[in-house]
Structure 1
C-alpha cells in the first residue's frame, strides 16, 4: 500500500455544540478528511464544525444509528475510515500513537484496526472501564454498520490490535432515548437478536423497570448471547437485587461462571454477597480470586481494571481485619493506598489504622 495512507474521520452529530470543538481539535491534525453527518442540530454544531471541515452533510434521523453511520462512511474518500463520537477525545499521547498507526497501516494493510476505548476514569484520570472497538476500517472492504442502536461492525479479514486509545468524556446521558427507540422498533414488529435483547434489557434496568428488565435479560441469556453474556448476568443481578430477590440475584452471578474464564467484577460481586452475610473468610476467597483475573478486553469483554486491583484490595483489608489478621489487613490497605491515595475509602482506613 502507498506509504501516504489517508484517514477519513467520519462522525454523526446532533446538538453537540458543547463538545464537538474539543473532539475535532484533539484529532484534526492527524486525519486527512473529516466527514460530518448532522442528524438535525438546532444549535451551533454545524457552525463549529465548519472551522474544521467543509464536508458537512444533513441526514434525516430515522431512529437508526447504523443508517446514519453508513451514510457518513459513504461520503468518505480516504484509505481508512475512522469513527468518533462527539464526546470522544484523543489525548496528546495518543496523537503520537495515531501517527505511528498510519505507518502500520501502510506496512500491514489491515482490514480492521481494533483500538481500546476508555469510557470511565477515577479521580486521578486513570482509566477504569475500557474495551476494544473496531476503530479504523479499510474503505475498499465495504464494511457496513449493523443494528439500529448500539451499532457495530463485525470485524473480518486482516485484523490487527493497536495501542491507540480513544477517551470517551461523556457530558450528558441519553435519558430514556434508547429505551424509546427500542419500544418503537418492537411496536413496529422488529425482532430483536440476542445482542439487542440484552441491550433492551439493560435500558429497562437503567430506567428502573426491573421486573421487565429481568424478564428480557433472562430471555437474552437463553439465546445465543456471546460477548455480552457476563454483562447480562451483572444487569440481571442488579434487577433482582433491586426487587429484593437476593437468591435469584446471587444465582445470576453464578450463571456467568458457566462459560469462559471468570471476570473480576463478577467475582467481586459474588464476594460482596458473602461479605454482607459477614462470612468474611469466603468473601476474602472471592476477592482474592478477583485479583488473579486478567484483562479480557482483547476477548471482546468489557474491562473494569479497578475490580482486579483497587476494589478487592480495599475489601480484603476489611475482611482480614474482621478475621483478626491485622497484618494482612494493613498490607492490603497499603496496596489500595498506593493506587488511589485520595479515595474516600483509603482516607477513612488510613485514619482507622492510625487510631489502632
Structure 2
C-alpha cells in the first residue's frame, strides 16, 4: 500500500491538479492543513483525501512528520501542492515499492522560475518516495532521516509554485531562525543565499554563499556544484573579478564535468572583458560556450535546463554576432532554434 502525504495551506490554485496527477499511483491520500482560509480543505475532500489539521509553528519538518503519523501504507510519497506528475507514473511507482530493500526514491523535479525577466527551468532531485518509518528534520528545506541509500526512480514532477511568486517573504524568516539554531549549517547558509539572490539582495546573497562555501571546504554535498555556480554568478553581478577568478581557478575541475559551471565561466569572462576592456579572454569565452555544447552531447547533467543546449547555442550566436562573425552567428541561432527556443527563432526571422 502506498500513501500520499502532503502539508498544505491556501493551495486552492494548485491542489486539485496535484491530487489528480497522483491519484492512480497511491492507495491513500493524507492531507494536513496548516491554516487555510480558502477552498483548500474542500478540494482535498473532493479528491478523497483524509484531512487533518496542524497548528503552524514555523517548522516544515514538524508539519510533515505529523502527516506521516497518519499514513497507513508501507510506502510514502510526499508531494507539495504546486508539484504534479506530467504523465501517469503509477506503474513505475508500484514497481519501485515492490523491492524490499530499505531505500529512498529520488524524484526529478523540474522547477519553473523567472530570472532577469526570462523564464527559466532548473532540475533537482529529492528523496520523496520512501518506506514508512522515516521522518524529516529541518525547520525549512527539510531533509529525510535517518539516512538511507537513494535511488533515481525515473519519476518526474513539474513545479511552478515559485514562478512569478515571491516565497522569500515566507522562506527568509524561517531560514534566519534555522541559522540562529545552527549558524554553521552550510546547507541553510546556501539556501538563504539563494533566497536573497532571488530577492535581488545581492550583498546578503554573497555573504551567505561565501559562508556556505567556506563551511564546505573538503566536502562535496549534492548541492555543492550549485552553490559554486551561484557564488560565481553573484561575483559576476558585483563585478568582483578577482574573487571570481580565484573561485574559477580553485574549482576548475568542473570545466570537464559541468555545463552549468562552463556557462557561468563564459558569462563571467564576457562581463570581465567588457568591464576591464581586457579582450585577451575572448577565445576563452567562445571555448566555454562550446564546452557547454560538448558536455551536453556527452550527456552531462544540467542544473539549469538549456545551458548545454539552446542557452549555450544562443549565447554563442550572440557572441559571434557581436564579433562580426555573421555566418557562425546564424549557424548557432539555428541550433538554438532547433530546440524550440523562441528568442533564437525570432533572431533568425529578423535576419531573413
TM-score (norm 1): 0.83
Pair 157,305 (structure 1): closer, same or farther in 2 beyond 3 Å: same
Residue 123 of structure 2 corresponds to residue 163 of structure 1: no
| Corresponding residue number in structure 2 for 1:236 | 231
Which of 95, 98, 101 lines up with 1:106 in the alignment? 98
| Corresponding residue number in structure 2 for 1:35 | 30
SS in 1 for 2:168: coil
SS in 1 for 2:166: coil
| Corresponding residue number in structure 2 for 1:315 | 315
| Corresponding residue number in structure 2 for 1:181 | 174
**Cα offset for 1:9?**
0.3
Count of aligned positions: 334
**Cα offset for 1:49?**
0.8
| Corresponding residue number in structure 2 for 1:201 | 193
Q: Deviations over 1:267-323 (max 9, x none)?
A: 1121123334255422111101111225565xxxx6223000111111222334455
TM-score (norm 2): 0.84
User: Is contact 2:334–2:348 with CA below 8 Å preserved after alignment?
Assistant: no
User: Is contact 1:9–1:81 with CA below 8 Å preserved after alignment?
Assistant: yes
SS in 1 for 2:109: strand
- What is the root-mean-square deviation in Å for CA atoms of aligned residues? 2.8
User: Is contact 1:267–1:287 with CA below 8 Å preserved after alignment?
Assistant: yes
Partners in 1 of 2:13 and 2:250 — Cα distance?
42
Partners in 2 of 1:131 and 1:185 — Cα distance?
22
User: Is contact 2:24–2:90 with CA below 8 Å preserved after alignment?
Assistant: no
SS in 2 for 1:145: strand
Question: Mean alpha-carbon deviation: is it higher for 62-71 or for 45-54?
Answer: 45-54
Alignment gaps of 5+ in structure 1: 1-5
Partners in 2 of 1:281 and 1:115 — Cα distance?
39
Which of 46, 69, 90 lines up with 2:64 in the alignment? 69
**Cα offset for 1:203?**
2.3
| Corresponding residue number in structure 2 for 1:333 | 333
**Cα offset for 1:21?**
1.2
Q: Deviations over 1:37-72 (max 9, x none)?
A: 111112221121111235211111111111111111
Alignment gaps of 5+ in structure 2: 274-278
